[in-house]
Structure 1
């Protein structure tokens, strides 16, 4: 595909991410995306992506290389005796640092949150979030650092963690856009690290299964 085609794809992706973030996944048609991108070709999404599912997959993975690079660098710098906050930093800071790198206004956190709110999108999110052996290794080490907490409890808390991280980031992204907050994604990242560490390691006062399988955090 030529340079013009690549630019057209990026404009469509930017338009789609904004509209999905603002109005939800099911409320935005391919035609509306094309119109918002400024093209008279109402079949532009089908032409450039083959269909809606491929557009969504491309949106989910378009920044994955950046977060993976950031995560790898943090992982390489981990001390041998890395504790829970260090491990969580490797999972969370690549996401918040990536959000900090986006031009304003950004829509990334709100788009992923909208994807997570649609049950039919969970499979696609899960496929995109099965990031790499590195992420798997970090999750295993987090669980090992919490050896006194039953797996079923960790799975349940991971589900809450995913909702919390995305919710905080989506809300902060909107507040930055509205001028309520000056951008400080580093501060947000460390706030989330502390919050997640506290939640994951909290005492268990009433043992019991919450989820039967692991839940992804969906930091893309």
Structure 2
């Protein structure tokens, strides 16, 4: 069960994730988060997390250890010569498995989508990706598998894929909530991996440098 402090902290994280997902990170006050969590102390966010930025970061990173373990399991299952879909599965499936483990309605994917609207969090999100050695290695191996394409195209498509995965998961999470359908995150993961592989390896008709400078900011 954990201590009362652990329970209060978890309730604040749940509350923040739902409210941030619904209204946006900058539109929700610490007081509203505490009240939604059932906490009568309006300073609870600062008490348990130290600051609002720390709460946002804690909400972002709360499942990172589980995702890392799942990704490590998938990597260890790879054959000696994994194809592009295998590598992309290691990037996508830890997220969809995480979403599948949450109660319905969940707010996780919609919260991650909202994070992109907060300028102060963009660098933090990018750092959480680039400092994870498994993610960095998977990205490099995926890029190497399409090395015959122009580098600007690979970088631009990588940026698009990072946005596409989060946006698609958020849309599906919202649909499950709105229409009360039984979620199939495993099937959705296969759909996403197929779409990502198709986009990354698609033929090139324009090799312009449109998005390559943005590619390091999002890919997970």
TM-score range, shorter chain: over 0.9
Q: Could you tell me how far apart the structure 1 residues matched to 2:15 and 2:197 are?
A: 36
Q: Could you tell me how far apart the structure 2 residues matched to 1:49 and 1:185 are?
A: 32
Give the 5 Å matches for 1:139-154.
Answer: 139-154=139-154
1:55 corresponds to: 55
TM-score normalized with structure 2 length:
0.94
Contact 1:159 1:216 in 2 (8 A): yes
Range with bigger deviation, 122-131 or 139-148:
122-131
Range with bigger deviation, 10-19 or 171-180:
171-180
Contact 1:158 1:216 in 2 (8 A): no
The alpha-carbon deviation at position 218 of structure 1 amounts to: 5.2
Give the 5 Å matches for 1:1-220.
Answer: 3-210=3-210, 211-212=212-213, 214-217=215-218, 219=220
Question: Could you say which structure has the higher helix fraction?
Answer: 2
Q: Could you tell me how far apart the structure 1 residues matched to 2:217 and 2:90 are?
A: 15
TM-score normalized with structure 1 length:
0.94
CA RMSD between the two structures? 1.4
Runs of 4+ in 1 over 4 A off after TM superposition: none
Q: Classify the secondary structure of the residue corresponding to 1:178.
A: helix
Contact 2:88 2:193 in 1 (8 A): yes
How many correspondences in the alignment? Answer: 218
Q: Could you tell me how far apart the structure 1 residues matched to 2:33 and 2:62 are?
A: 17
| Distance change (3 Å), C-alpha of 1:66 and 1:131 | farther
Q: Could you tell me how far apart the structure 2 residues matched to 1:190 and 1:201 are?
A: 16
The alpha-carbon deviation at position 153 of structure 1 amounts to: 1.1
| Distance change (3 Å), C-alpha of 1:76 and 1:142 | same
Gaps of 5+ in 1: none
